[in-house]
Structure 1
Amino acid sequence: MTSLVAYDDSDSEIETDNFNSSSQEKTIRPLGQPLPSDIIATKSENDPGPGWDTLNAGSGVVPEPQAERSTQKSCPRPRCRWPVTELQVKPRTFPPSDFSTYSSSTSSGKREFAGVSVSKMRPLYDAFRVPNSSSCALMSLEATGQHGSLSQKRRQENLDFVEGGIKPYIPKRLRQTQTLTVGTNERGESELQRQRTDGPSLLEGSPMREGTATVVSNFIKPYLEAKYKSTEIPKRLIFQMSEHGGPVNSVQWCPVLQHSHMLLSASMDKTFKVWDALDTGRCLNTYSSHSSAVRAVQWSTCGRQILSGGFDSELHVTDVETGMQLFSCKNEFRISTVKFNPNEPHIFLCGGFSPEIKAWDTRSCKVIKVYKASVQQTLDILFLRDGNEFLSSTDSVSRDSADRTIIAWDFHSAAKVSNQIFHERFTCPSLALHPKESVFVAQTNGNYMALFSALRPYRINKKKRYEGHKVEGYAVACECSPDGAVLVTGSADGNVFFYNYHNSRIICTFSAHSHACVGATFHPVLPSVLATCDWSGKIKVWQ
């Protein structure tokens, strides 16, 4: 391939203004051959401008070697003689669009770049521009006029790129803004859709009366200012509620003392209910947000929300008065226990038919911690008093000792503090913390309750064992009275047992239900009120 360069023997710049003139070429030489001495043309003493070097860099023209000054008249500036549209010029070497840096005013008043009229180089510069969103808009505006056909063609090519899956470049800042806007809109729509579709329906009972959760029962008012008296054993039945259609797993009083007339119950009939258990004994609200049995429920510390988990592997935080779900998520396993962190009310733990215990944050709806153990099921969870450690009871039982039956965890690091706490071959379906002393009680399937220290190394108290009731495979709950003097537990035979905490003797027992009594809880304010539930779906309040 040869490169042709012609030198004009005239230094009149007016003749060079005519780009398409057909002036005669003096010499044509192949690339690489020696130059004849009679036609050697040297550069002028004034070096060419930067436009010359830039143009040759893209066209493949090799600069002439430095030679001795010839006696012949030389051209002050070399000129390109072939049509500009045939030049192979890289787009990156072109000057800016205004050509202000490399253009000069000639005697004819025209702006030139390397001897070529700027108006003639504009189509070539436009043809080599990289198409983007801004250039597409510019091309559409330039579709009319002298270069209308070329701009129209480039715009059509850009449209073909988009249809073929090649999209124009979008700045990073604009992409981030669009992503943030779309993500916010999608989250808002999904949240609204979830509230519409997953909102609990009031299938049973009457809806909660306005302000029911804020009223104070007349029975509670006299006891709010006074100090809690010693626990008394209830003697008579005051209310019996049997609106649940399946076994009741647990009952809990509202932890807010002013609103402790409300009683929460979870049932295998896929619902959990809130009752007015002191004034009327009627159901205030029924929540049917689960599609399977509700195994575990718990009040929030403020008494305005209820955390629930069931065999449908779903977790919900429900507003007590409105019934709206403030938090909802799908878990990977069936739930058997849920517990709020006492120091961080927006975090709760859930365990069930899995070797893992998960910590959820209701603000972000994400799992923040996972606690793994070599077990198959978690039966119960108990936070210790400072909230930095918690206990979990499992179904793991070995031949000689119940290794990993009760495990102590560090809440923040998810590390095991101890797994050698209980060394007997029985599982513990329920754990309860003593309100006054640093001890906790564990219900065992060996038909007795064991007492442990709540401080490391969590030793068992071998001198105290509360036995006499029957568990027989039921998840029978146990509890300490508010003053810590009495332990209460249900029994598989339907009885309720009261034990003296200090000497572990039976204080009293009475027949409460015809089926297995799986839950019994003292009222936090009234010293002689007790609520129980059984496997037939009945709830009873005693005084």
Structure 2
Amino acid sequence: MTSLVAYEDSDQEDDPPNEEGTDQGNAKSDSVAGLSGGAQKQFGLSLSSQNRPLFNPHDRGFEVVQFSDMTASGHFSEFISQPWTQNSTSFERPAIRNSDCAISVKRPQPSMAVVKPYIPKRQRLSQLGGNDVPESPQAATVSPDQGANSKLLMEVSDSVRPYLEMRCSGAELPRRVRLRIQAHQGPVNAIHWCPVPHLSHLLLSASMDGTAKVWDGAGSGRCLRTCSSHSGAVRDACWSQCGRRLLTGSFDHKVHLTDVETGQKVVAVNNQCKVTCLALQPSDPHVFLCGGFSPEVKAWDTRTCKVVRVYQAAIQQTLDILFLAAGKEFVTSSDSVSRDSAERTLIAWDFHTSAKVSNQIFHERYTCPSLALHPQQDLFVAQTNGNYIALFSAQRPYKMNKRKRYEGHKVEGYAVGCQFSADGSVLASGSSSGSLHFYEHQSARALRTLPAHQQACVGVGLHPVLPAVAATCDWSGEVSVWH
């Protein structure tokens, strides 16, 4: 730190300054004027015990004193600087250049480096470029068809509207494929048209990739909603009776009820085992049955998320569930095959009492991976691993029709699905060979066979309103719409 000090013993005004700068030793004996102990001002530093005056020829009578060896006093006294060569009332501040003398600066200097506050990148770009601010990724990826998708999810499609008032006069068979969609990254386990007529253009698919998707199956074929709330493979999915919600069961032991319009999960229950099949109660839309890798079939209430009934059987896995007689009874299909008649493949249950109504329905030693109910008659069919479809009565004692069976396709261990048409005159089935088969219900003869997929065709759905429209899915994740 530097200070300007004047000496009192400079009586001769004509005494020239030492231009050589070598008389610094004579200045050591001079005392600094104006030091008073009474009027002290604290500056945070102590007075030097040794004053070293440095002469500068450009100071014009002022001498720069360098202080060092600070003492512990911690105070400076007030300095009174006077001209060295003349008594002048005007005071000129000397100009000190670092090139003329080495000055040790002790006084804290204001820092030129200013700490600037952080400005976000978006704000900096807006300041530089005005209104040319890039939009956020979310805003940039908003599809212009989002409003159209929401409209299709809740309103009648133009492709279905002309057929809503028409009465079904007979089933027509599709001839060619209209859409082929690589819908999923894994095998598609189930495919269903929405049962509500004015929303029947919506097509539901459930896949092993952990997602369930809703498609505009009767129209453009684009995906309208993706439900990916499960952490495991989605084994089964079905529509609610109102067509506004989806029920999905997964290998992550969870069953989710999802709103179709918003895609939000409404209800989630933990079945404590891998879920393989689901069935909604026809007379109570808040109750559903859930089966899986367990000897139990549980009835859940979506309002309380609690189990209301448990159906216990000596089985290892439930393959499918089918309600009969307006929801009073239902049939379960299991993977249990034994000579003991108490452990048959198909078991009929009373829904309200949880009692077994019959367990001697199917006497052949084949498992039945899927079941389907006739829409108008008291009949149901069971897809068997014997490469045929068996026909049963839907009333007690649930006897099998041994004179009629639907043959020509292959199952070979796949969960191949089957379904009746809206009027019940045609039965459609997939095949492990990838083909699509149509049978006449009354005569059980084959009507048409279509080469649908390269891999196993595991699901088929006939449209409830549109004539000659069907949807199929295969083991590679492909969905096809036929007309």
Structure 1 length normalisation: TM-score? 0.61
CA apart distance, 1:221: 1.2
- Partner-residue secondary structure (3-state), 2:410: coil
Q: Establish whether residue 536 from structure 1 lines up as the match of residue 476 from structure 2.
A: yes
Q: Residue 332 of structure 1 aligns with which residue?
A: 272
Pair 1:436 & 2:400 matched? no
Q: CA deviation at 1:330?
A: 1.6
2:220 corresponds to 1:277: no
Does the Cα contact within 8 Å between 1:205 and 1:285 map onto a contact in 2?
no
Q: Could you tell me how far apart the structure 2 residues matched to 1:406 and 1:437 are?
A: 20
Displacement after TM superposition at 1:480 (Å): 0.7
Distance 1:538 1:357 in 2: 31
| Contact persistence 2:195–2:241 (CA under 8 A) | yes
For 1:362 and 1:312, how far apart are their aligned partners in 2? Answer: 18
Separation in structure 2 between the aligned mates of residue 210 and residue 245 of structure 1, nearest angstrom: 25
Q: How far did residue 233 of structure 1 move?
A: 1.2
Aligned to 1:304: 244
Unaligned runs of 5+ in 1: 1-201
Moved over 6 A (4+): none
- Measured after TM superposition, the shift of residue 205 of structure 1 is 13
Separation in 2 of the partners of 1:408 and 1:427?
15
Secondary structure of residue in 1 paired with 2:327? coil
Matched, 1:411 2:351: yes
User: What is the CA-CA distance between 1:399 and the residue it aligns to?
Assistant: 4.0
Aligned to 1:503: 443
Partner residue of 2:188 out of 229, 248, 271: 248
AA of the residue aligned to 2:441: Y
Indicate conservation of the 8 Å contact 1:206/1:283, yes or no.
no
Partner of 1:388: 328
In structure 2, the CA distance between the partners of 1:366 and 1:491, relative to structure 1 (3 Å rule), is same
> Which of the two has greater helix per residue?
1
Q: Matches of residues 333-352 of structure 1 in structure 2 within 5 Å?
A: 333-352=273-292
2:285 partner SS: coil
Distance 2:286 2:310 in 1: 16
Q: Find the counterpart in structure 1 of residue 453 from structure 2.
A: 513
**1:265 pairs with 2:205:** yes
Query: Aligned pair in 2 of structure 1 residues 205, 541: CA closer, same or farther (>3 Å)?
Result: farther
User: What's the secondary structure of 1:374's corresponding residue?
Assistant: coil
**Partner Cα separation in structure 1 for residue 308 and residue 478 of structure 2:** 38
What is the CA distance between 1:397 and its match in structure 2? Answer: 0.3
| C-alpha separation in 1, matches of 2:310 and 2:341 | 26
Match 1:484 to one of 416, 424, 427: 424
Q: How far does residue 404 in structure 1 lie from its aligned partner after superposition?
A: 2.3
Which residue of 2 is the match for residue 237 of structure 1?
177
The 1:423/1:230 distance shift into structure 2, 3 A limit, reads same
Taking a change above 3 Å as real, the CA distance of residues 205 and 287 of structure 1, as seen in their structure-2 partners, is farther
Residues 529/269 of structure 1: CA separation in 2 closer, same or farther (3 Å cut) = same
Amino acid paired to 2:168: Y
| Distance in 1 (alpha carbons) for counterparts of 2:146 and 2:265 | 16
Q: Using CA pairs below 8 Å that are at least 6 residues apart, which structure has the higher relative contact order?
A: 2
Q: Distance between the aligned counterparts of 2:244 and 2:479, measured in 1? A: 22
Equivalents in 1 of 2:415, 2:145: separation in Å? 30
Displacement after TM superposition at 1:401 (Å)? 6.4
Residues 431, 205 of structure 1: CA spacing in aligned structure 2 closer, same or farther, 3 A cutoff?
Answer: farther
Counterpart contact for 2:428–2:439, Cα < 8 Å: yes
Structure 2 distance, partners of 1:320, 1:408, is 32
The answer to whether the Cα contact below 8 Å between 1:396 and 1:405 also exists between their aligned partners in 2 is: yes
Q: Which residue is equivalent to 1:427?
A: 367
More strand by share: 2
**In the alignment, is the contact (CA less than 8 A) between 1:309 and 1:316 conserved in 2?**
yes
* Residues 115-161 of structure 1: CA deviation (Å, up to 9, x unaligned): xxxxxxxxxxxxxxxxxxxxxxxxxxxxxxxxxxxxxxxxxxxxxxx
Taking structure 1 as reference, are residues 401 and 207 closer, same or farther at Cα in structure 2, changes over 3 Å only? farther
Question: How do 1:78-477 and structure 2 match up within 5 A?
Answer: 209-399=149-339, 403-477=343-417
Q: Please state how far the C-alpha of 1:323 moved relative to its aligned partner.
A: 1.0
Structure 2: which 5+ runs fail to align? 1-140
Deviation at 1:206, TM superposition (A): 8.1
The CA deviation at 1:278 is 1.4
Residues 330 and 403 of structure 1: is their aligned pair in 2 closer, same or farther, counting only changes over 3 Å?
closer
Match for residue 58 of structure 2?
Answer: none
Supply the distance in 2 between the matched residues of 1:400 and 1:473 (Cα, whole angstroms). 23
Inter-CA distance 287–205: structure 2 relative to 1 (3 Å threshold): farther
Inter-partner Cα distance in structure 1 for 2:261 and 2:144: 14
Q: Distance in 2 between matches of 1:438 and 1:521?
A: 20
Q: Conserved in 1, the CA contact under 8 Å of 2:154 and 2:261?
A: no
Q: Is the 8 A contact 1:205 1:283 kept in 2?
A: no
Q: Residue 424 of structure 1 aligns to a residue in which SS? A: coil
> Which range moves more in the overlay, 328-337 or 395-404?
395-404
Is the 1:334–1:352 contact (alpha carbons within 8 Å) kept by the matching residues of 2?
yes
Would you say how many aligned residue pairs link Structure 1 and Structure 2?
A: 341
Deviation sequence 1:235-260 (CA, Å, 0-9, x none): 11111111311000011001110011
Give the superposition deviation at 1:400: 7.4
| Aligned mates of 1:418, 1:207 — CA distance in 2 | 50
Q: Superposition RMSD on alpha carbons, in Å? A: 1.7
C-alpha spacing 1:205/1:290, structure 2 compared with 1 (3 Å): farther
Contact 2:314 2:343 in 1 (8 A): no
Query: Which of these two proteins has the greater Rg computed from alpha carbons?
Result: 2
